[in-house]
Amino acid sequence: LEYLQTSSYFTPGFTWTLTAAASGKTKTYHSENGALDYITEYKSKLPKVASMKPDSIFICSSPVMDVAVDFTTAEGNHLKGFTNGLFNAEGGDHVDSFFRTLQKSLEPYKKKGKDFTLTEIKEGVLGIVNAKLAAPKFSSQVKVKLQDERAAEPFRKLLQVELDKFFKKNKSLAESICVRCAELKNLRSKFLASKQVVMELRKIAKKGFPVKALMAPKCKASERELYLVEGDSAMGGITGVRNAHFQEVFPLKGKIMNAHRATSAKFFLNEEVLNILAMIGFDPKAADPYSNLRVSKLVFMTDADADGFHIS
């Protein structure tokens, strides 16, 4: 049944009829608009999913391939690969060719500094890539993955021309896709960083706070203050004048990093930043990581020069 339903999408206007030998009952499959009907039906099964733009459907039909793709708000990748109408559960060269070409076609529409990868590009893509090849080659006898060089470079050259024309006419769609991909990468980076931060903070908790830190363990969190100073020299000056009951001191290693350019993953996994997070009681596992801090005040003690401005 599924095969006939899918076949109807690849043969628009043609009616398939299945007759049960025992009962004589029949069931017909017919698609007037081909792959467009597939997209409409598939999208209707996904909750709260819509096209990103009114003209977001890309169509490419040639003697060697049929491609129909909608750029949607769906989570995950919903692009299905077929070879001569046969479903390829693991995709293959034809599907890979589409995504690699899509990545290249979107390149001119990216904003400076807003990079993304194929992982983000695949999000929300919904549709069909059907390779039409004589004697196609697969990765195994069960034909779940197409591995045929004819679906690689030749496909990419054809798709490149068509995708470039499509986005030239739909510039706002290309820009919206790029913005979404960049945001997804940023969210994914923060998520991965938070998982690693949990692991690193656990290590700090096990081995104790930094050796160079001056602690105030007996006061209440509402009283405790943490002073961040520039290096060991500044540490020496403040040691003798601090109130040891509620004032803690931690020396930084000069310029920690260029925070303006650093990615969130690199930032949160910096040794000095992790030590600061541990000392203030930051908990990335909590719904609000700042809900149960062990300090009430964070004070930056910096020189009135370029280095001090950089650290603050």
Question: What is the rounded average pLDDT for all residues in the chain?
Answer: 87
pLDDT at 310 over 60: no
Residue 270: the pLDDT is 80
* Alpha-helical regions (H) of 88-207: 93-106, 118-121, 153-169, 171-207
| Per-residue pLDDT at 147 | 95
For 69, the enclosing helix (H) or strand (E) is strand 65-71
Identify the pLDDT of residue 292. 86
What percent of the chain has a predicted confidence (pLDDT) above 90? 48
- Across the range 92-97, mean pLDDT stands at 96
Q: Taking 80 as the threshold, does the pLDDT of residue 235 lie above it? A: no
**What is the per-residue burial (b if ≥16 Cβ within 10 Å, else e) of 117-143?**
eeebbbbbbbbbbbbbeeebebeeeeb
Name the phi and psi angles at 69, rounded to 5.
Answer: -135, 135
Closest CA to 177 of 240, 241, 99, 243: 99
Query: Does the pLDDT at position 312 exceed 60?
Result: no
Strand order in the sheet with 247-252: 247-252, 225-230, 297-301
12 contacts 30 by C-beta, under 8 angstroms: no
pLDDT digits (tens, 9 = 90+) for 264-309: 667 777 888 888 888 998 887 776 777 889 999 998 887 766 665 5
The pLDDT of residue 308 is 59
Q: Of 217, 201, 170, 224, nearest to 284 (Cα)? A: 201
Residue 203's pLDDT band (boundaries 50, 70, 90)? confident
Between residues 220 and 234, the one the model is more confident about: 220
Find where tokens 């069909």 sit.
128
What pLDDT does 172 receive? 96
Helix/strand/coil for 15: strand
Q: Which of 139-143, 194-198, 213-217 has the lowest mean pLDDT?
A: 194-198
Question: Per-residue pLDDT tens for 128-177?
Answer: 999 999 999 999 999 999 999 999 999 999 999 999 999 999 999 999 99
